[in-house]
Amino acid sequence: MVKILVTGGAGFIGTNFIKYMLNKYPDYEIVNLDLLTYCGNLENLKDIESNKNYSFIKGNIRDKDLVNEIVKDCNYVINFAAESHVDRSIQDPEIFIKSNVLGTQVLLDAANQFNVEKYIQISTDEVYGTLGSTGYFTETTPLAPNSPYSASKASADLVVRAYHETFNLPINITRCSNNYGPYQFPEKLIPLMIYNALKDKPLPIYGDGKNIRDWLYVYDHCTAIDLVLHKGKIGEIYNIGGNNEKQNIEIVKLILKQLKKPESLITFVNDRLGHDKRYAIDSSKIQKKLGWKPKYSFETGIKETIDWYLNKWMSKSGKM
Ligand SMILES: NC(=O)c1ccc[n+]([C@@H]2O[C@H](COP(=O)([O-])OP(=O)(O)OC[C@H]3O[C@@H](n4cnc5c(N)ncnc54)[C@H](O)[C@@H]3O)[C@@H](O)[C@H]2O)c1
């Protein structure tokens, strides 16, 4: 029996990943360890609560005793748990260092002590910093994080790398671009804009709205992590991107169009401090080495995403 500890499984990507895995591998056992911070939501996991191969434990990845107790009979550890919002990291960096760096170290110690077959760190393209109008991040691009959030993720990546070099811990690090899809807490661009539009509230856009992100449908991200888990070469880093570079303003206009709301709702606000201009991922390594290919075009993914939030909104009579 394969047993996997997924941390942060009540968050956006973790929720999607657990559902994807239970569906694809009905004989795998998944333990979800999550602190249920403001963006962890068990309601999103209600439909799998009674699955005998799924269990939930409320707890902090920094809790050594708890983590050791869980990891001791797991084959794999996949760490999604993190404070994940850049704006919050600018307001209060401390919790980002505690959860994202120190929490990772506790998981690594346990993985090392109990000889797990693989530890996967879910990281981000933001560790590479920002790009000008050309070029792409590859796995060898130097780390140059600009926000307290991305610095905490880059620091964690370095600790993961060090556990591999020092203790021979079997690891992979994945660095993905901006995910979109169902189950995301409405503080990040796409769900926030959808909900504000539905409520006819202003849609706040930083600066001139021309910052560029590379968008990855969360389902495609899950298929990539699945491949890394089963086929990723020990010690390697894999970039995962959707090849969908879009300006923030383009996304917002598209959301308004689909929801039949006026562009007059767009409100430009003061730019985020240290706002990275452009992220773009070169994911040719995972495509060539592991045969990964994203399935969703941006047009299909964003349509499904908007429909999903709209249905949720309607089913809850206008509540989030
Ligand atoms: N969402 C994106 O676009 C994106 C892009 C690149 C990388 N990532 C990375 O992917 C991972 C998942 O992101 P997400 O968008 O699902 O985040 P999220 O904020 O939606 O979920 C994070 C989850 O981690 C839990 N958590 C936080 N601190 C914890 C702790 N100390 N102990 C246990 N659980 C804790 C929260 O309760 C929450 O359920 C993160 O590591 C993030 O850095 C996300």
What total of structural domains would you count in the chain? 1
Residue 268 DSSP one-character state = E
How high does pLDDT run on average in the chain? Answer: 96
Pairing of strands 118-124, 29-34: unpaired
> pLDDT digit string (tens) for 123-149?
999 999 999 999 999 999 999 999 999
- Ligand 1 pocket: which of 5, 13, 66, 184 to mutate (most atoms <8 Å of CB)? 13
Assess contact for 61 and 95: CB atoms under 8 A: no
pLDDT value for 316: 78
* Cβ of residue 18 lying under 6 Å from some atom of ligand 1: no
Q: Is the pLDDT of residue 153 over 80?
A: yes
| Dist. CA 169 → ligand 1 center (Å) | 23
Hey, what are 90's tokens? 């600018």
Task: For residue 302, tell me if it sits in a domain.
Answer: no
Atom of ligand 1 nearest to the CA of 79: 41
Task: For residue 211, tell me if it sits in a domain.
Answer: no
In the sheet with 171-176, reading across from the earlier edge strand, the strands are: 54-58, 29-34, 3-7, 76-79, 118-124, 171-176, 237-240
Task: For residue 281, tell me if it sits in a domain.
Answer: no
- Ligand 1 pocket: which of 5, 33, 37 to mutate (most atoms <8 Å of CB)? 37
Q: pTM (2 decimals)?
A: 0.97
Mean pLDDT, residues 84-112: 98
Q: Which residue's alpha carbon is at the smallest distance from atom 15 of ligand 1?
A: 12
Q: List the CATH number of the domain containing 149.
A: 3.40.50.720
> pLDDT digit string (tens) for 184-210?
999 999 999 999 999 999 999 999 999
**Domain that residue 235 falls in:** 3-180+218-240
Q: Is the pLDDT of residue 319 over 80?
A: no
pLDDT level of residue 314 (50, 70, 90 thresholds): confident
pLDDT value for 19: 98
Active site (catalytic) residues:
125-126, 149
Mean pLDDT, residues 291-320: 89
Task: For residue 227, tell me if it sits in a domain.
Answer: yes
pLDDT level of residue 11 (50, 70, 90 thresholds): very high
> pLDDT digit string (tens) for 251-275?
999 999 999 999 999 999 998 998 9
* Cβ of residue 11 lying under 6 Å from some atom of ligand 1: yes
Q: Is the pLDDT of residue 38 over 90?
A: yes
CA atoms within 13 A on the CB side of 64: 6
Task: For residue 59, tell me if it sits in a domain.
Answer: yes
Task: For residue 273, tell me if it sits in a domain.
Answer: no
Q: Is the pLDDT of residue 318 over 70?
A: no
Task: For residue 312, tell me if it sits in a domain.
Answer: no
Best CA proximity match to 110, nearest among 36, 31, 163: 163
